[in-house]
């Protein structure tokens, strides 16, 4: 399992619509409203066979209302395998 942490900048007034669209149409994930330069933070778990770059560019970037993203890949170095 790969974990992506994606900061999402939305077009003005679109944060709630973007969050709902992602949950309903793109991927089941945790999405948080955040302060700062970005509007939303999505924590996405992808299967090992899914390419993160293709997922972001072909799935997330096509969501109506998204203006920009910043993506990090989290490496599960400290969590026990039982969690």
Per residue in 41-55, pLDDT tens? Answer: 999 999 999 999 999
- Max Cα separation, the chain? 41
pTM, to two decimals? 0.88
- Average pLDDT over the chain, rounded to an integer: 94
Per residue in 60-83, pLDDT tens? Answer: 999 999 999 999 999 877 877 765
Please tell me the distance from the alpha carbon of residue 63 to that of residue 43, in angstroms, as a whole number: 16
Question: All domains of the chain, ordered by start, with CATH?
Answer: 2-74 (3.30.70.920)
């Amino acid at each position: 399992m790969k974990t992506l942490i994606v900061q999402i900048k939305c077009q003005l007034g679109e944060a709630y619509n973007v969050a709902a669209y992602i949950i309903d149409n793109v991927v089941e994930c945790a999405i948080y409203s955040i302060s700062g330069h970005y509007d939303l933070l999505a924590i996405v778990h992808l299967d090992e066979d899914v390419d993160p770059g293709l997922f972001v560019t072909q799935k997330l970037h096509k969501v109506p209302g998204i203006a920009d993203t910043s993506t990090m890949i989290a490496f599960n170095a400290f969590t026990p395998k039982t969690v």
